[in-house]
Structure 1
């Protein structure tokens, strides 16, 4: 959701009501382009997120995703300067896409140190810059002279506003003054004139103001009548007044699927029946929803997902290479036949010959066959060489099949971890998966100990008529649930040949066919096949499940199973207990 300067003015007003006079309790860095400020406000603790990555934004976060465990060097440096500081103001600079936040902190000598945070939300040039006494303290993104000849952003350099940031804001003028400005400083077209004079006009609001003035943004300014210019000035002032009191966000969805956001109702789309409209009471909430859906902020969970995806691709490539080597062993029988034929014809004189042609008596009918030779070796020595190649390929076949099986198990294990990550909803659950990745050697073990001990029994529970389903969230829980927690005569469910959770059905007595089918449908939902239909689900008693020695977490073998083909069932909120 790309916000123009005018929409940003509404967002700044909303943020000011929450964060002015709040205290920065903690600064965290979620990824390379995203900072999280934990604030103590008059309404309790709140979270302010500033991101300058794929979708540059600033907003109040209600639902925090997992936060990286280790603080970055940038985060540690900034904490010394702004943690404990009080946010005294937040304002927009000249109506542009620049937000200026002031944080005051009492130094050890009793002086008040002001840190100015400039959040520049300008597409690929977005940045978050910390300034003290007009000098850059630090920034999320360093800009060298090679990257940008007009402006450098690096520590100890003077801070300068971006080019064109000195243009005026439409909020600074009355209707009469706007008319005077339009008459005095015309440009090529209507659109260029408005954008040259006033900051903050994106394509949506520019089209809206031209629609209200009944002119086209591409019209040549010199062709406009005095009445048209006056109508444009009136439309601009009317837009200014509406924006000054706006406090919601209108989101329009076109038939093409494109979404358009505006802080005021759009007249040119209101008449379009093909556009559906949604009204968000909070701009922060709308931005948070959009960013969460797009996954543009790379949290610890995203980093784990990327790492696991790379590990799976690497293992699949290794698997295909082993398969190629195993298939290449088809030459083994040919090498043995060469050796046998050379031993049969060992009496022939073929010293220093590159090949020999003999009758292939090993097949019927007999046909001539040409066998390549190593010239400096005798026929018997060549036969022994072919026997060695035969033995080597036969051993490779045996070893290759074992390696293929181990590679398949590892791929399944990695995919099961990736599935567990999809189920994780809290930072503690993500941390448990990260710990499993550390144990598996996928990532380097953290030197910092966990501040808590991950619970093994916080399963997902679903209450059914006649029983209860217990579902593991990750491989560690699956192991504990199946081999430690469940009883021998409980019923165990798992999707066939598909990564999923271990599901245990506990009930009094023998489960009915209806209860078994219902449990199987839930087991299909808590798997990677949740979007499929007719999913095969195996079920058996817990006593028939075994864990092979040295096998990865979550891996089991079982017998006496039966298979149900069911459609996944989404559990209702009133029956599920997290």
Structure 2
């Protein structure tokens, strides 16, 4: 979701309204190209996200839950200069896709230090640059002369704006000046003239200007008459006034599914029958949704997901190799029969022969069989060679079956961790999974201790008629819920051969579990699993006393007996007067 300069002007006003006079309390770096400024304002705390990655954006976030555990070296350096600064202004420069945040800070000697944060949202050239006294302190992305001959970005270099000095902002000129500029600098088509004079016109707003002026983008403006120039000037003035009052973002979608964004209504689309799909009350909201949808920020969750997917892929490759070795072990009995037949015919002279044809007396009826030989060995030595191959394959089969079982178990475990990550919706839950990955050896253990202690009862708890339902949200919670929290009279539920949460159904002491209660618990078990979007999901259930944990098995792994299976449709928990959810 790329914003043009005019739309960015609306975002600039939005950020200024919320953040000016606020104090930067904390600076956090999520990944190599993304930082978060935690700002304390008169309206409360605000999180400003600045990312220059594959989805460049700057917006107010509703809160990122999976912030990094340890600060980077860049983060520590910037904290020294930026934290404690008070934001005095947020401006858009030259109507271009460049924002400048001015943040002043008092030094220990009482002097005022002026910091500038330049946010350049220019596609692959996007960056966030921290400047002090017009000298670059640091930048999210360093640019060397080999990367760009026109402009270098690195510490201790003077900051220079991107080369775009010939154009200005539409908001810098009054109505008469706009019309004069069109008359004096018109050259080429309407589109070329407007973009040569003014910054910030994307395709949608340029088409809207032409539509209001009753011109086309390819109209030759140099041959236009006074009336057409006046109409174009009036259209630009109308766009300027509308955008200066805009506080929202409109989303249109054409027949091909392409989305078009604008801060003002696009009459040329509405007259074509293209309907308005969504109205966002702020620009930050759709930007945050777009960044999250396209994976524009490499958060802790994304990093864990990447590590887990790589581990699953590696283990699946190992599983394939073990299976291939086991398939090759099918020749073990054939090698033994070769050895037996060669020993029975040990009196024959086969040295220097590549093969020998014998009567296979080990089958009924007897059939001739050709046995490959190593020419340099005698017939007895060839028999011993086949016996060794037989022994090797038999041993491989025994160890291979064990390794194949362990590999299958590990794949299921890794997929269960990956599933837990998809339903983690808080910093605490993500941290629990992060800790589990450290304990499993998937991540290097951090030397920094966790800043909080996760409560053992951090699982979901539903009150239902006649009992309670408890649902784990990751393997640590599943382990505690099943093996320590559950009572012998409870019923354990889990989807059949599908990764999901452990579910405990606990009837009240005066009742036993009814079919309705078991069905409801099974629906919840199907909903909190990878089969959530499916129908007719098989769910096993059995009393908790039949649940066992094999020695040295991974977290959340159990074996069970005496189970019954219910095939039901997943159902999300419904909250009413008789049902509550608390943690």
SS in 2 for 1:348: coil
Matched residue, 1:530: 532
Give the counterpart of 1:560 among 545, 559, 562. 562
CA shift at 1:248, angstroms? 1.5
Give CA-to-partner distance per residue, 1:158-190, whole Å, 9 cap, x none.
Answer: 211112255111111122211111111122211
**Distance in 1, Cα, partners of 2:326 & 2:539:** 32
Matched residue, 1:242: 242
Matched residue, 2:115: 115
The residue correspondences of 1:65-144 to structure 2 (distance < 5 A) are: 65-144=65-144
Give CA-to-partner distance per residue, 1:179-203, whole Å, 9 cap, x none.
Answer: 1111111222111111110001111
RMSD: 1.3
CA shift at 1:235, angstroms? 0.3
Contact 1:94 1:166 (C-alpha < 8 Å) held by counterparts = no
Contact 1:254 1:276 (C-alpha < 8 Å) held by counterparts = no
CA shift at 1:223, angstroms? 3.7
Bigger mean CA offset, 323-332 vs 457-466: 457-466
**Distance in 2, Cα, partners of 1:219 & 1:393:** 80
CA shift at 1:209, angstroms? 0.6
CA shift at 1:88, angstroms? 1.0
CA shift at 1:244, angstroms? 1.3
Matched residue, 1:40: 40
**Distance in 1, Cα, partners of 2:384 & 2:223:** 97
The residue correspondences of 1:442-461 to structure 2 (distance < 5 A) are: 442-461=442-461
The residue correspondences of 1:299-378 to structure 2 (distance < 5 A) are: 299-378=299-378
Matched residue, 1:392: 392
SS in 1 for 2:562: coil
**Distance in 2, Cα, partners of 1:493 & 1:86:** 54
- Asked if residue 544 in structure 1 is aligned to residue 549 in structure 2, the reply is no
Matched residue, 2:220: 220
**Distance in 1, Cα, partners of 2:368 & 2:565:** 55
SS in 2 for 1:493: strand
Contact 2:252 2:274 (C-alpha < 8 Å) held by counterparts = no
**Distance in 1, Cα, partners of 2:240 & 2:273:** 27
The residue correspondences of 1:110-509 to structure 2 (distance < 5 A) are: 110-508=110-508, 509=511
SS in 2 for 1:145: coil
Contact 1:4 1:97 (C-alpha < 8 Å) held by counterparts = yes
SS in 2 for 1:506: strand
**Distance in 2, Cα, partners of 1:462 & 1:513:** 17
Bigger mean CA offset, 274-283 vs 90-99: 274-283
Give CA-to-partner distance per residue, 1:70-123, whole Å, 9 cap, x none.
Answer: 111110110111111111111000110000111111122222111111000011
- After superposing on structure 2, the runs of 4+ consecutive aligned residues of structure 1 that deviate more than 4 Å are none
Contact 1:356 1:371 (C-alpha < 8 Å) held by counterparts = yes
**Distance in 1, Cα, partners of 2:166 & 2:186:** 18
Matched residue, 1:577: 582
Bigger mean CA offset, 305-314 vs 43-52: 43-52
Distance 1:166 1:573, change over 3 A: farther
Bigger mean CA offset, 472-481 vs 284-293: 284-293
SS in 1 for 2:199: coil
CA shift at 1:276, angstroms? 3.0
Bigger mean CA offset, 402-411 vs 184-193: 184-193
Mark the runs of 5 or more structure 2 residues left unpaired by the alignment: none
**Distance in 1, Cα, partners of 2:431 & 2:187:** 57
SS in 2 for 1:231: helix
Q: What TM-score, normalized to structure 2?
A: 0.97
CA shift at 1:326, angstroms? 0.3
SS in 2 for 1:96: coil
**Distance in 2, Cα, partners of 1:380 & 1:76:** 74
**Distance in 1, Cα, partners of 2:366 & 2:429:** 70
**Distance in 2, Cα, partners of 1:248 & 1:350:** 91
Bigger mean CA offset, 275-284 vs 315-324: 275-284
Contact 2:47 2:63 (C-alpha < 8 Å) held by counterparts = no
SS in 1 for 2:119: strand
Give CA-to-partner distance per residue, 1:240-291, whole Å, 9 cap, x none.
Answer: 1111111111111223222111111111122233423322211122322332
Matched residue, 1:517: 519
Give CA-to-partner distance per residue, 1:507-532, whole Å, 9 cap, x none.
Answer: 12211111111110111000000011
Q: What TM-score, normalized to structure 1?
A: 0.98
Distance 1:465 1:121, change over 3 A: same
**Distance in 2, Cα, partners of 1:558 & 1:216:** 72
Matched residue, 2:6: 6
Mark the runs of 5 or more structure 1 residues left unpaired by the alignment: none
CA shift at 1:573, angstroms? 4.6
CA shift at 1:295, angstroms? 2.8
SS in 2 for 1:537: strand
Give CA-to-partner distance per residue, 1:54-74, whole Å, 9 cap, x none.
Answer: 221111112323101011111
Distance 1:93 1:275, change over 3 A: same
